[in-house]
Amino acid sequence: MRSFLALMALASLLVVGCGGEQTADRPPPAGQQVAPAEGAAPSVRLESGASVAGAVKFEGAPPPRKKLDMNADPVCASKHTQAALSEAVMVNGNGTLKYVFVYVKKGLEGKKFPAPATPVVLDQNGCMYSPHVMGAQVGQALKILNSDGTLHNIHPKPKVNQEKNWAMPKFMKEKVTTEITVKPEVMIPVRCDVHPWMQSYIGVVEHPFFAVTGEAGTFELKGLPAGKYTVEAWHEVCGSQMQEVTVAEGGTASVDFSFKLPN
Amino acid sequence: MSETAYGWWLPMNVATYGGEVDSLINVIHWIMGILFVGWGIFFFYCLIRFRRREGQKAVYQPIHARPAKYVEIGVIIAEAILLLSFSMPVWARFKGEFPAEKDALVVRVVAEQFAWNVHYPGKDGKFGRTAPQFISSSNLLGLDPDDPDGQDDINAVNQLHFPVNKPVIVRLSTKDVIHSFKIPVMRLTQDTIPGTEINIWFEADKTGQFDLACAQLCGLGHYRMRGAVSVDTPEAFAKWMEERQSEVSGTGTEY
Amino acid sequence: MDEQHHEHHHEHHHEPGFWRKYVFSVDHKVIGIQYSLTSLLFLFFGFSLMMMMRWQLAYPGQPLPWIGRLFGEANMPEGVMVPEFYNQLGAMHGTIMVFLGVVPLAVGGFGNYVLPLQIGAPDMAFPRINMASYWFLFVGGVVMLASFFLPGGAAQSGWTSYSPLANIAPVGQTAWLIGMIFLITSSLLGSINFIVTTVQLRVKGLSFFKLPFFVWAQFVTSFLLLLAFPPLEAAGVLQLMDRVAGTSFFLPSGLVVTGQPLEVSGGGNPLLWQHLFWFLAHPEVYVLILPALGIVAEVIANNTRKPLWGYRTMVYSLIFLGFMSFVVWAHHMFMTGMGTAMSTFFQATTMIISVPSVIILTALAISLWGASIRFTVPMHFALAFIPMFAIGGLTGLPLGLTASDLHLHDTYYVIGHFHYVVAPGTIFALFAGIYYWFPKVTGRMMNEKLGKLHFWLSLIFMNGVFMPMLFIGMAGVSRRLYDQTGYAHGAAVQDLTVLGSWSAWLLAVAQIPFIVNFLMSMRKREKVRSDNPWEATTLEWATPTPPPHGNFLTAPQVYRGPYEYSVPGRTADFWPQHLPEEAESPQPRPATT
């Protein structure tokens, strides 16, 4: 009887214990520049260093943007005088593509980069995610804002990190979490279960060498050590492309991408 | 929202068969009331008359079966009447007597966490093919972009408009979990079961703006799954459909 | 019987240590007390969950004063409840009240303690299985409580755990399923014990139709548990496999959750879960009420000082009710797309099942006629049970007919209906049982003034909570809403919701006289002067107070029916079952402790 009970107690402890990580948010590790410990992998000094820069062009005529019908939620509809448009394929005036996530995919093995103390910010404003595409480092905090005064529901659906689903009721202006930046993952889609048209993407990488193209369609990855790298550009509709690049110490290399719509 | 539609008892009734549902509810509650008051009077009478006091003893075998038997038989007969004359006919009509599709407005409603996708077939009257692989944040229904029937389809999220005095057939389905399509003023509830498409019909006899609610726990946004039902005059409905149609450019090349 | 004598004889030779005597005891009375104390704690805990929900319902989005921030950032940031937490509280309130509160108290507590005594047995047929059933309950309870601390929180898909929602819910649902497996196993072990004990261990002369109605109620309840639980245990394992092993018993293909296809093999059906669940859960609600009917019958017979009216009819109705409870389950599923044939069958059986309930209730009411009613505290609760259960039962009628269910399905009307049966119904009966049997267990009477205060306040506030729900449901407000004010039809009845919340909090305050009474009476110096302070006729009152291990000093023999009160020609107004014909009516025996 006693051993039976001990087994039961152990079994229940296992059930409880194997639940995974803590729900309490851990504060992100502090500092960017740390002196390397004896024998540890060298940390990288980011003030000087090489950079990789370029632009992402779009081939073909820019497709029309779908209107997002926000009549589903009167609070959202009231925030737009004209219909909001989908941000899936946004071609800039100069023929470049916005919201392309560019990052160093290979070449930084063995190097460690402590996560920044400041969180990256994702806002829910006008019932749209802002920014539509962003990057974060492993271990970096994500600060989610609810500027809308209505229920939003942050539902990231990663494949590598653990799936989360949080309600942000109207009274909740801000939420800070490190729970989906635990492992590197490109890209984590984020949806709002309450407002189905809302969509954004977060790329989680182990280093700070990532960028998202903006209105100019350009990107720059600064502070790289000299070496040979594979750079990947990802777009939610047009797919991803990789290119190899070599940079000298303190030099600049140029990499351009060109995307078109899939058939 | 119609301000006077809702109160502390039954909401306003807008459905053609709603009156029969209400009759059943009212008759049942009258029967319940009579039984309860009858029992209650007997109960309190006993508590007072037979309370223990000086010189009063209980009687070992005080009563014969007959009054109780009559009550019991009365209850059985009442229930049989409720079932056979009230409930079954209404249910049979609701489930079995669908209006002809050519006389009705046919609409698909696809529930998801946490919105109602109302799918109108557009001017051609045909629903475009939908499939899970096409679903995206700008194509919530998952319409096949290569299907010509779907080019003019409309997805009015959380808005269900239909004309008064015309039967409506709704084909209910869900993308993810069980939801339940409930319109209190239409006296109507129908679960949406994943993997199935369930048809219901109704007809409204008054215009107005009303609530559509989700009546089955479907997650953290269950309380927020509110749809706006608008029963329009035929003209207002036609105008609304025009506006929706013009927003759907239908080239299939939008992102 | 030889086995029992041997056990009895054996125990006399060495006194067990503290752990064997009070914690890992095989004595049905100790186990009954363990069940009772554990379940009372769970009842208060489950009630507390609801009290927190009532804050959010009455004042949506407002911070809960003082204690709100204790629940952490994930659940109540700045003291305001988030919807996921509300859903967790709801699912766990239902689960805990049914499986860890009411049933363990009604069956595990009262059944274990009283049943062997009432049949003259020295213990249950399988004392070690009895102990195991308690510890399975305990482990199940620990797992359920622990689930609140898992990432994503406790189960949050309702106590009904419908697939596919329960399949995609956070890991708390897995813990719920594991907890349920323990709890179900506990009930199965217990039910086998009760059935065998009742059949095999009745003393000489105690034929089935001389059994107290309480024993009959526990006996039929045990059959319901034994036959109905296995499908749910199986379903629980299937859902567990769906969640952790990649099966899709309850998941069809083609599901898209939050814009992404669900990667499952598909081919399953969510309705299968519902059928398996309700196949148990409908008999389960009769498990909730039958022991209560048993307790109420005992208390009414004792305090009317006359036999129960229609005892035989009541027993036959009980058996018929038990049988019928297995063929009504799909009335919970009327709105799942059911057609006319199936729904007609289930409506008919649902109407038919109301007949034995009405018979039993009517018999209890008619038992008051020609009585000499003593308004003791247990009798207060037992009497109130009758109209309260009547409201509960009557409000089942519009739900059991599909045409009215069209409007009322999954609304607050349902919540009002079943709470009337369970709360001022069953729980009142359980209170009656506590006040009634307290002197046999502890040798002291509970304080009468506090008892009556507890009664009146509870009666008023119970009605304050649940009567408004019938109106809120009639107005069309759905169940399980974190905030109903977003709907026009919900906002229209928000005042009733606030009334319900205040009644719930005052109901909690009304339990304080009970808790104080319970704890203080256990230890008070003044003891009962008789082993049979209520002057009852059933066998449990023929033991010393409290009953020792083995219960009866000598095995009793039964000579007459269970409720021979006010028998013509006798001086005393009660004639215990175990007294031989020629013996005089009993004098009060001094208590032995």
Give the number of B-C residue pairs with CB atoms closer than 8 Å: 303
Q: Could you tell me if residue A227 is inside a domain?
A: yes
What's residue B252's pLDDT?
57
Q: B71-86, pLDDT tens digit by residue?
A: 788 888 888 888 888 8
Mean pLDDT calculated for residue range C572-585: 82
Mean pLDDT calculated for residue range A160-184: 90
Helix H or strand E encompassing B110 = strand B105-112
Q: How far apart are alpha carbons C70 and C68 in whole angstroms?
A: 5
Q: Which of B112, B135, B137 best tests the A interface by mutation, with the highest count of A CBs <10 A?
A: B137
Claim to verify: residue A159 and residue A91 sit in the same structural domain:
no
Q: Taking CA atoms, what residue in B is nearest to A238? A: B255
In the Cβ-directed half-sphere of C129, how many Cα atoms lie within 13 Å? 16
Claim to verify: residue A126 and residue A192 sit in the same structural domain:
yes
- Does residue C85 contact residue C8 with C-beta atoms inside 8 Å? no
Give the confidence band of B211 by pLDDT, cuts at 50, 70, 90. very high
More confident residue, C268 or B82: C268
What's residue B91's pLDDT?
86
Q: A4-14, pLDDT tens digit by residue?
A: 555 565 655 55
- Mean of the per-residue pLDDT values for chain C? 93
Q: Which amino acid makes up residue B67?
A: P
What's residue B251's pLDDT?
52
In this complex, do C151 and A23 lie within 8 Å of one another by their Cβ atoms? yes
- Does residue B151 contact residue B128 with C-beta atoms inside 8 Å? yes
Q: What backbone phi and psi angles, to 5 degrees, belong to B116?
A: -105, 115
Q: Could you tell me if residue A42 is inside a domain?
A: no
In this complex, do B52 and C383 lie within 8 Å of one another by their Cβ atoms? no
In three-state form (DSSP H/G/I as H, E/B as E, the rest C), the secondary structure along C445-504 is CCCHHHHHHHHHHHHHHHHHHHHHHHHHHHCCCECCCCCHHHCHHHHCCHHHHHHHHHHH
Give the confidence band of A74 by pLDDT, cuts at 50, 70, 90. confident
Dihedral in degrees, nearest 10, Cα atoms B242, B246, B251, B252: -80
Q: What backbone phi and psi angles, to 5 degrees, belong to B171?
A: -100, 110
Interstrand relation of B179-183 and B208-214 (parallel, antiparallel or unpaired): antiparallel
Per mean pLDDT, which range of A46-60, C82-96, C507-521 is the poorest?
A: A46-60
Give the confidence band of A154 by pLDDT, cuts at 50, 70, 90. very high
Structural domain span for residue A91: 48-105+213-263
In this complex, do A167 and C72 lie within 8 Å of one another by their Cβ atoms? no
Q: B142-161, pLDDT tens digit by residue?
A: 999 889 888 889 889 899 99
Q: What backbone phi and psi angles, to 5 degrees, belong to A198?
A: -75, 130
Q: Which residues make Cβ contacts (< 8 Å) with residue C509, sequence separation at least 6? A: C457
Contacts of A5 in chain C (CB under 8 A): 135
Claim to verify: residue A227 and residue A257 sit in the same structural domain:
yes
What's residue C581's pLDDT?
79
Name which of B90, B133, B125 is nearest B108 in CA terms. Answer: B125
Q: Could you tell me if residue A78 is inside a domain?
A: yes
Per mean pLDDT, which range of A53-57, B62-66, B232-236 is the poorest?
A: B62-66
What's residue C298's pLDDT?
97
Those chains having 3 or more beta-carbon pairs within 8 angstroms of chain B are A, C
Per mean pLDDT, which range of A70-74, A182-186, C437-441, C491-495 is the poorest?
A: A70-74
Supply B215's token pair: 């009546």
Q: Where are the beta strands (DSSP E) in A139-178?
A: 142-146, 152-156, 166-168, 174-177
Residue C8 pLDDT exceeds 70: no
Residue C332 pLDDT exceeds 70: yes
In this complex, do B184 and C401 lie within 8 Å of one another by their Cβ atoms? no
Q: How far apart are alpha carbons C133 and A39 in whole angstroms?
A: 58
Residue B40 pLDDT exceeds 90: yes
In this complex, do C84 and A165 lie within 8 Å of one another by their Cβ atoms? yes
- Would you call C334 helix, strand, or coil by DSSP? helix
Q: Which CATH class is domain C26-249+266-542?
A: mainly alpha
Mean pLDDT calculated for residue range C142-155: 96
What's residue A18's pLDDT?
41
| Residue B85, number of CB atoms within 10 A of its CB | 12
Task: Give the gyration radius of chain C's Cα atoms.
Answer: 24
Q: Which residues make Cβ contacts (< 8 Å) with residue A96, sequence separation at least 6? A: A55, A56, A57, A58, A213, A216, A217, A218
Distance from CA of B152 to the nearest CA of C (A): 22
Q: How many domains does chain A have?
A: 2
In this complex, do A19 and C74 lie within 8 Å of one another by their Cβ atoms? no
Q: Which CATH class is domain B12-96?
A: mainly alpha
Q: Taking CA atoms, what residue in C is nearest to B134? A: C259
- Does residue C413 contact residue B10 with C-beta atoms inside 8 Å? no
Supply C233's token pair: 């245990």
Residue C22 pLDDT exceeds 60: yes
Q: C362-409, pLDDT tens digit by residue?
A: 999 999 999 999 999 999 999 999 999 999 999 999 999 999 999 999
Helix H or strand E encompassing C516 = helix C512-523
Q: How far apart are alpha carbons A146 and A195 in whole angstroms?
A: 13
**Matching residue, tokens 């504060």:** A27
What's residue B78's pLDDT?
84
Contacts of B155 in chain A (CB under 8 A): 69
Give the confidence band of C320 by pLDDT, cuts at 50, 70, 90. very high
Residue C526 pLDDT exceeds 60: yes
Claim to verify: residue A221 and residue A201 sit in the same structural domain:
no
Residue A99 pLDDT exceeds 50: yes
Q: Which of B136, B191, B224 best tests the C interface by mutation, with the highest count of C CBs <10 A?
A: B191
Q: What backbone phi and psi angles, to 5 degrees, belong to A96?
A: -100, 170
**A159/C contact by beta carbon, under 8 A:** no
Claim to verify: residue A97 and residue A160 sit in the same structural domain:
no
What's residue A42's pLDDT?
42
Q: A35-50, pLDDT tens digit by residue?
A: 333 333 444 545 568 8
Give the confidence band of A2 by pLDDT, cuts at 50, 70, 90. low
- Does residue A229 contact residue A107 with C-beta atoms inside 8 Å? yes
Q: Which CATH class is domain B101-247?
A: mainly beta
Q: Where are the beta strands (DSSP E) in C75-168?
A: none
